[in-house]
């Protein structure tokens, strides 16, 4: 499942619309556009998010495996999003 699809599901659930697959084409497109808009809005981190992500990057060392670098990147994004959500 793509991030857009997960976003669509989360938006549909939060709006009480149920399963996005059950919606008609126009409603699905509107939901997909809303999910894309949310991702676009989250693209640029704020200061707290950058500092949160920096905690992971500080521990990246030379010679780590490609999988470790991917995991560090994923964890950085997770920490940054958690920091953004904590500001609510």
Co-location of 36 and 57 in the same domain: no
Co-location of 31 and 57 in the same domain: no
Co-location of 36 and 58 in the same domain: no
Q: What is the 3-state secondary structure (H, E, C) of the chain?
A: CCHHHHHHHHHHHHCCCCCHHHCCHHHHHHHHHHHHHHHHHHCCCCHHHHHHHHHHHCCCCCCCCHHHHHHHHHHHHHHHHHHHHHCC
- 12-36 pLDDT tens trace: 888 887 788 888 888 888 988 998 8
Query: Whole domain around residue 35: which residue ranges?
Result: 3-42
Looking at the whole model, is its pTM more than 0.85? no
User: How sure is the predictor about 88, in pLDDT bands with cuts at 50, 70 and 90?
Assistant: low
């Amino acid at each position: 499942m793509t991030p857009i699809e997960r976003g669509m599901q989360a938006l549909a659930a939060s709006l009480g619309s149920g399963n996005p697959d059950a919606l008609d084409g126009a409603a699905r497109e509107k939901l997909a556009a809303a999910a894309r808009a949310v991702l676009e809005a989250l693209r640029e981190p704020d200061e707290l998010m950058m500092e949160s992500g920096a905690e992971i990057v500080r521990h990246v060392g030379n010679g780590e495996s490609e999988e470790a670098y991917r995991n560090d990147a994923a964890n950085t994004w997770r920490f940054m999003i958690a920091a953004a959500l904590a500001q609510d």
